[in-house]
Amino acid sequence: MSADEGTRTLVIVRHAEALADGPSDAERRLSERGHADASAVGAWLAAQGVTPDHALVSAAVRTLQTWEDLADVAGWDIEPDVDESLYAAGPETALDLLRIVPDDVRTLVVVGHNPTVASLAHLLDDGEGDLDAGNRLALGYPPSATTVLSYDGDWEHLADASASVVAFFVGGR
């Protein structure tokens, strides 16, 4: 999925399966299955030809571990932009964070939490993309769910129904 001059790629990932408890919610770690599923997402994204030049990752332990596992398997060596506000952000706040991504970024990966990431993927979907992927997106956003969207425009103009679903995947399923 290489982007032409005007097209950008946005990848929205829900963190992989986490343990039910931890010292705090933000400190919950991935389960064994979560690590495997995050790795599966990385392999799938690499097979899709996705190579990000920027990543926005929630500061929670489980999102950071998801990023580390998927980036390692995909062969990406970029340092993520770890954002404390993404942890508790609603879809509109998350969208605001995407709108301030540097203009030179062509492919962006976001790793966050539900219900925000699912809502964000639905909010951005213009219904014009891959019908099968869009239908699978509509059925739910379990841990490690990943949506790849294509967007024509500058990040600052990203808005409701402005991107097309290109692909959808759930690690390990």
Domains and CATH numbers, the chain: 7-170 (3.40.50.1240)
Sheet holding 7-14, edge to edge: 81-83, 54-58, 107-112, 7-14, 145-152, 163-170
Which residues contact residue 31 at a Cβ distance below 8 angstroms, ignoring those fewer than 6 apart? 16, 17, 18, 19
The CA distance from 38 to 72, in Å, is 10
pLDDT in tens, the chain (173 residues): 434 457 999 999 999 999 999 999 999 999 999 999 999 999 999 999 999 999 999 999 999 999 999 999 999 999 999 999 999 999 999 999 999 999 999 999 999 999 999 999 999 999 999 999 999 999 999 999 999 999 999 999 999 999 999 999 999 87
The letter for the amino acid at 45 is L
